[in-house]
Amino acid sequence: MKKGSMTGSGSATSAPPALQLSHEGRQEIGELLCFLLADFFTLYIKTKSFHWHMHGPHFRDYHLLLDEQSEELFEATDAIAERARKIGESTIRSIGDIARLQRLNDAEISDAPAVAMLQMLCEDNAALAGFMRSTHQVCDASGDLATASLLENWIDEAERRSWFLSATVNSAC
């Protein structure tokens, strides 16, 4: 897994006056949100790619499942970025930022079996849920209830995606 930093992107100079978070807490949470945003975009692209390249006897069911899951992932990206901005921090600005910050691996495969694609996505969604749990712990320690609340919903969605994929391929991720 890759891990980078937001060097060069800069951080906003101040948070909204009503925000009751320390400067250090905002910075740490902002950085973690950037990692999560990169991971969400990585998983979105992987899910959409598998959606496009799916084939086999259950094509329609898998195709529709991955379309639904990719939409859910994409919908979260704006909320993640806006939360970083709400706490006075910067967010990703380019594909290069995503490549530097993503912790999930790309899938540059041309012809994987459908079950292998679904298994990869199952494992990635489980990993994403783990990343969000770690971020939630930092939010709790910093007193950032709003970000923690958002994370709880996204964790539930990631667990649901993982469960659907796991049940579809009859394996645990």
What does the H/E/C string look like for 28-69?
HHHHHHHHHHHHHHHHHHHHHHHHHHCCCCCHHHHHHHHHHH
Domain that holds residue 161: 23-169
Q: Which are the contacts of 52, defined by CB distance < 8 A and separation ≥ 6?
A: none
What average pLDDT score do residues 53-75 get? 95
77 in Cβ contact with 150 (< 8 Å): no
pLDDT at 170: 84
Is residue 61 scored above 90 in pLDDT? yes
**How many angstroms separate the Cα of 102 from the Cα of each of 21, 58, 90, 137?**
26, 31, 16, 20
Asked if residue 155 belongs to a domain, the reply is yes
Asked if residue 154 belongs to a domain, the reply is yes
What average pLDDT score do residues 119-131 get? 97
Beta carbons within 10 angstroms of residue 10's beta carbon:
10
> Rounded to an integer, what distance in angstroms lies between the CA atom of residue 134 and that of residue 42?
19
What average pLDDT score do residues 119-143 get? 97
Asked if residue 3 belongs to a domain, the reply is no
Asked if residue 34 belongs to a domain, the reply is yes
Asked if residue 97 belongs to a domain, the reply is yes
CATH of the domain at 111: 1.20.1260.10
Asked if residue 81 belongs to a domain, the reply is yes
Smallest CA-to-CA distance from 120 within 49, 68, 17, 31 is with 49
Asked if residue 46 belongs to a domain, the reply is yes
pLDDT at 3: 54
pLDDT tens-digit series, residues 27-40: 999 999 999 999 99
Smallest CA-to-CA distance from 166 within 130, 123, 109 is with 123
% of residues, the chain, pLDDT over 90: 80
Answer with the residue of higher pLDDT: 1 or 3: 3
Number of domains composing the chain: 1
pLDDT tier at 14 (50, 70, 90 boundaries)?
low
pLDDT at 65: 97
Asked if residue 133 belongs to a domain, the reply is yes
